Structure 1
Amino acid sequence: MHQPPLSQHRHISFTAHYTGYMWYDMGISHPAFATKKGKWLTTLLHPLELWSERFIGGSIRRTLTQRHILIDQALLKLIESQPEIQVIEIAAGLSPRGWSFRRKFSELRYIEVDLPDMAKAKQDALGKAGQADAEVMAVDLFTPEINQLFEKLDRNKPVVVISEGLVNYFSKTMLAQLWGTLADHGKTFPKFYYLTDLCPEPVNHRFAQVVWKSSQLLRFLSRSAFSFHFTSPQEVKDFFKDCGYDKVYIGQPSQPDKTEVTEHLGDFVWFVQAMIDKSNT
C-alpha cells in the first residue's frame, strides 16, 4: 500500500501528549486522552512549572487553562446562539473539547482534525471514551487536503473552526496561507468563525528574556518555526483582515471587563475570534 509522505510538521504532535495529560490532570478530560508519554513529560517539567509560577508569575499550566477556558466559553456562546453551527477543530491532538461538547450537545456536528498518526491516536482514544463514532480526519493543513474539511458540510449552515496551541509553531507566511485558505472556504457559508489562541511577544514582562529562551527550546524540540509574531492587538487584527476576515476580537485574560483593550497587558496568551459574515456583503 502506498504511504503518504510524512508531514514536515509531524514533530509538533509531541506537545499534544503533554497538553493531553495536563487537561486530564486538571480534571476536565477522560483517562483515554492521558498517555504515558504525556505523564512522563508532565513529571519532567513539573519542577520548572513550580519555579515559573513562583518567580515569573505564570506557567504553562496556567496558560493552558486560560486559553482553554476562553475558547470553550466562545464556542459555547456560538452553539447556544446558533445550534445548527458546524464545528471543525484543527490540530485537535488529545484535547477533550470535542468529546466534552458532543456529550453536552448530542446533535452537534463536530469534526476533529490532525496529522495521520495523531488522528489515529485520537480516534482510538475516543473509542475508549465511548465515542467510537466521532468524526476524526487525517489532514495536512498545508496541502490541498485542507479542502476535504469542508466538502461534506452543509453550505446553508454556519461553521466555526478552532485551533488551540498551534499558531506560534508556524511562520507568518504559513499563517497567512492557512488563515487565508480558511477564509476562502469560510466565504462559502452564511457565517464563518475562527477561534484561536496565540502567544504575543512577551514585551511587557520583566522576565521577557527567560520566556524567549524557553521558546527557543520549544522550537528545537518541536522542530518547528516556533516564534512570537505580534506585539499589539491591532497587529493581530490587521493581519487577520488582510487574510480576508471582516471582524476580529482580541481577548486578554487580565482584561478588567469585557471591554476590548488596544494595548498589550502582559499576558502570555491572547484569545482571538475572527468572523466572516456574508450578510454584510
Structure 2
Amino acid sequence: MSERVLHSHISPSAHFTAYVWFRRGLSDAAFVSPFGRFSHTLLRPVMWASRQFFDLDLESMLLLRHLQIDASLHRAIESAGVRQVVEIACGLSPRGYRFTQRYPQLHYIEADLPAMAGRKGQLLAENHWLSPRHHVVSVDVFAEEGPYSLSSAFAQLNHNEPVFVITEGLVNYFSREQIELFWTRLATQLRPFRAASYVTDLYPELQMHPRYRQIRWGVDLVGRLTRGEYYLHYADADAIEAGFKGCGFAEVEVVDPSLRAADLGLPVSTVPGLVRVVHAHM
C-alpha cells in the first residue's frame, strides 16, 4: 500500500490512531502509514507532558474505547450468537481483519465514504484479507437514499439473524443535531432485525471534570488537526441515555471504560475517565 493511497481522504488523527493500535499489538503493519509514525513521534513530548503533569494519557484513552468495544463484540459473538457485524466509518480500523481471523463464521461489513472505502478495500485485498464474508462498502451516513445510504448497506444482511453495529471515533466530529439524525436513521434500519445492537464511543461535556480546561485545549487541538470542529455531547450518563432513547433505541447502557481498565489490561488512572462507550439495543 503506497503512502499516497493511505494519505488520501484520511484525517491525521486516523493515521495517529492506526499507529497506536499497531504499536500496542492490536493491528498489522499494513494499516500503518509513514505519516502515522511521524505524527506519533511529533506528539510524543506533548503526550509525555500530559501524563506527567495532568495524568491524562491520550494513548490509554484511545485503547480504552477500542478494547471496550472489542470486549462487547466478543461477548455478542460468543454469548448472543451474533454472526453479522457492520463497522461504519471503519477508516484504518483493524477490527474487521482481527475478528474475521478469529471468528470465520462472521459476515463482517466495513463501511465508509466512497474514497476511504475504496482505499480500505484495496488494503485488505492486497493482503488477501477480503472474502465473500468480509468486504467493504461505500456509505454516507447522511444519505437518505441511493447506493451510499444505510438502507443499501443493511439490505445485504439477513433480518432473521442478530446484527451488531459499531462506530468508533466518529460521533464527536458532528454536532448533536447531526449525529442524532444519523442515530435515528440507524435505529430505523435496525428495527426489522430479530435482534440488533449498536456500540459507539463518545466524549461527553464533563464540565465538572478536574481536567476540564486541559480537555477543552485538547478538543481545540483535535479540531485544528482535523481541519474541522470537535463537539462534546451531553452532560452525563442520564443525558446520553435520554438522547439515544429519543432516537429510537429501547435499552441503553453507558460504560466508563476507565473503571474497567485493569480488566482491559491497561493502567488505572487516578483521574476520572473522559470517554464513554454506549451500548444501545433495539
TM tier relative to shorter chain:
0.7 to 0.9
Q: How many Å apart are 1:116 and its aligned residue?
A: 2.1
AA at the equivalent of 2:77: I
Match of 1:135 in 2: 135
Match of 1:22 in 2: 20
Separation in structure 1 between the aligned mates of residue 31 and residue 125 of structure 2, nearest angstrom? 11
8 Å CA contact retained: 2:201, 2:278:
yes
Secondary structure (helix, strand or coil) at the match of 2:129 reads coil
Divergent runs of 4+, >4 A: none
AA at the equivalent of 2:173: Y
Match of 1:161 in 2: 165
Match of 1:272 in 2: 278
Separation in structure 1 between the aligned mates of residue 44 and residue 75 of structure 2, nearest angstrom? 34
Q: How many Å apart are 1:151 and its aligned residue?
A: 1.1
Separation in structure 1 between the aligned mates of residue 90 and residue 126 of structure 2, nearest angstrom? 17
AA at the equivalent of 1:251: V
Separation in structure 1 between the aligned mates of residue 9 and residue 214 of structure 2, nearest angstrom? 24
Instruction: Show CA shifts across 1:63-87 (max 9, x none).
Output: 0110011100001100112334310
8 Å CA contact retained: 2:90, 2:167:
yes
Separation in structure 2 between the aligned mates of residue 202 and residue 58 of structure 1, nearest angstrom? 15
Separation in structure 1 between the aligned mates of residue 167 and residue 254 of structure 2, nearest angstrom? 15
Q: TM-score, normalised by structure 1?
A: 0.87
Secondary structure (helix, strand or coil) at the match of 1:127 reads helix
Write out aligned runs for 1:58-137 (5 A).
Answer: 58-133=56-131, 134-137=134-137
Instruction: Show CA shifts across 1:71-109 (max 9, x none).
Output: 000011001123343100011111111100000110101
Match of 1:7 in 2: none
Instruction: Show CA shifts across 1:104-148 (max 9, x none).
Output: 110101101112222222122223443033311121111132221
Q: Which runs of 5+ in 1 are unaligned?
A: 1-9, 258-264, 277-281
Separation in structure 2 between the aligned mates of residue 69 and residue 214 of structure 1, nearest angstrom? 22
Q: Which runs of 5+ in 2 are unaligned?
A: 1-7, 262-270
Separation in structure 2 between the aligned mates of residue 80 and residue 147 of structure 1, nearest angstrom? 27
Q: Are positions 1:34 and 2:32 aligned together? A: yes
Instruction: Show CA shifts across 1:222-271 (max 9, x none).
Output: 233311112210000000000000000011124379xxxxxxx8311111
8 Å CA contact retained: 1:168, 1:229:
yes
Secondary structure (helix, strand or coil) at the match of 1:255 reads helix
Match of 2:188 among 155, 173, 184: 184
Match of 1:234 in 2: 238
Instruction: Please give the root-mean-square deviation of Cα atoms over the aligned residues, in Å.
Output: 1.9
AA at the equivalent of 2:191: K
Separation in structure 2 between the aligned mates of residue 122 and residue 11 of structure 1, nearest angstrom? 11
Q: How many Å apart are 1:217 and its aligned residue?
A: 2.2
Equivalent pairs, count: 260
Separation in structure 1 between the aligned mates of residue 138 and residue 68 of structure 2, nearest angstrom? 26
Match of 1:198 in 2: 202
Secondary structure (helix, strand or coil) at the match of 2:45 reads helix
Match of 2:47 in 1: 49
Identity among equivalent positions (%) equals 37
Separation in structure 1 between the aligned mates of residue 126 and residue 54 of structure 2, nearest angstrom? 38
